[in-house]
Amino acid sequence: MTLFFSSPIGLGHITRDIAIVKEIAKSFNYYDFSFITGSKAFDFISIENDSSEESKFSAHDLYFPPEFSIDEGRLNNSFLWLLKYVSYFRKSKKKVKKWLSTSDMERDTNPLIVTDEDFASLSVGKDLNITRIFVTDILRTHFIRNGILSGIEKYLNNSMCNLIKSSDCVIIPESGDNRDNLFYVGPIVREITASRDELRKRFSFNKFTILLTTGGTSAGDYLTRRTLESFTKLQKRHDCDLVVSYSSNISFNENRDKSYRNIGFVNNIHEYVYAADLIISLAGKSTIDESLVYGTPGIFIPIKNHFEQEDRARELGFSYEDINKLDTIMEDNLSGFRLKKEKRVPNGVSEAAKLIAEYLNK
């Protein structure tokens, strides 16, 4: 049994981890993974198990991470969140130690853990001298911009870097040149077997279709509301459809507005991304990577003050302020000024699976 610890902060980690283990199962005939995660990520993999006829994974609900404080699309109280994360990290380490002590890993002659940005399991694995494969797209954080408080984050960054350097293999789902224990494989997304035309027919995408997807939490509430407002203006000038996927804990008065189709939260959102003509989303890595690999153009609005999202959005030419001109940007895409079928980026899932499989066979 190989333990796969997947960070429960957001859904991007669990979706790419599912992609990896499915590729390992397909290419290397290895199925013996057990996921340890929590929160919405645990719910996601539970639904995946219920709907999948191919692969079933044991999953364990171990973690309860702190939530970001987001208001009007802005991240608030970054330092407070960082302090909560440190507390969460310490509690999680205790849980992981207890978990490993009761698992079969102690009897394994060549124990291995794979962890996707779960620093608690990475730290415990180091303490126990267990072989560790780490999946991450972040080598350093910069949530805090205040000079005095940023010193605390710098200290935490140094600790994080030491943990990463101590790993046996670090898989980075970005483009780059390999060095030391860092292996750059490119974006990792779930494979799709159906054709785009088949999916469009299945999803009833009969017109130019815009997909709004904001993940499994309420973080995209503001973007959802602003997109619906902008689409109302756009629809008066263009014949197009808006399909919306948002968390079930967000409530809108759908009797008031029938201009869009709500599909709720769905596990196969990656297929909708592939089938759509245009995506509107937060600047989360998983949706951006799906856009790049599947070749679907996107508009990516970052959460203000969220360094990861702002950096990714900037690379693609977007900023938080673009939320104030969504109707113009959408119209540019519809009119063909910006819209093009993006050049598809190779999926790094095969390379990631290959790297992990080398350790499974030791």
Residues 74 and 95 in one domain: yes
Residues 158 and 217 in one domain: no
From CA 88, how far away is CA 115, in angstroms rounded? 16
- Predicted confidence at residue 255, as pLDDT, reads 45
Residues 60 and 163 in one domain: yes
> Collapsing DSSP states into helix, strand and coil, what is residue 59?
strand
Which has the closest alpha carbon to 213: 274, 293, 304? 274
Six token digits for residue 45:
């993999």
Residues 244 and 114 in one domain: no
Dmax over CA atoms of the chain, in Å, equals 67
Six token digits for residue 287:
């949706």
Count of residues making up the chain: 362
Residues 293 and 177 in one domain: no
Q: Is residue 340 part of a domain?
A: no
- For 7, 75, 211, 245, 323, the CA distances from 223, given in Å and listed in that order, are 24, 13, 13, 12, 7
In total, how many domains does the chain have?
Answer: 2
Structural domain including 77 reads 2-188+348-360
Q: Is residue 343 part of a domain?
A: no
Six token digits for residue 308:
């990861």
- pLDDT tens digits, residue range 163-182? 999 999 999 999 999 999 99
Q: What CATH number does the domain containing 109 carry?
A: 3.40.50.2000
- Parallel, antiparallel or unpaired: strands 69-71 and 74-76: antiparallel
Residues 98 and 180 in one domain: yes
DSSP state of 179: B
Residues 115 and 61 in one domain: yes
Residues 22 and 79 in one domain: yes
Residues 83 and 215 in one domain: no
Grouped pLDDT means (10 residues each) for the chain, 362 residues: 93 96 95 93 87 73 91 86 90 94 71 95 95 92 68 79 95 96 98 97 96 82 92 90 79 61 93 96 95 95 91 94 94 71 85 97 72
Q: Is residue 342 part of a domain?
A: no
Entry pTM: 0.92
Residues 154 and 282 in one domain: no
- Predicted confidence at residue 361, as pLDDT, reads 73
Under the phi-then-psi rule, with left for phi > 0, alpha for psi from -120 to 50, and beta for the rest, what region is 180? left
Residues 243 and 295 in one domain: yes
Residues 130 and 161 in one domain: yes
From CA 254, how far away is CA 224, in angstroms rounded? 13
Sign of CA dihedral 333, 311, 162, 12: negative
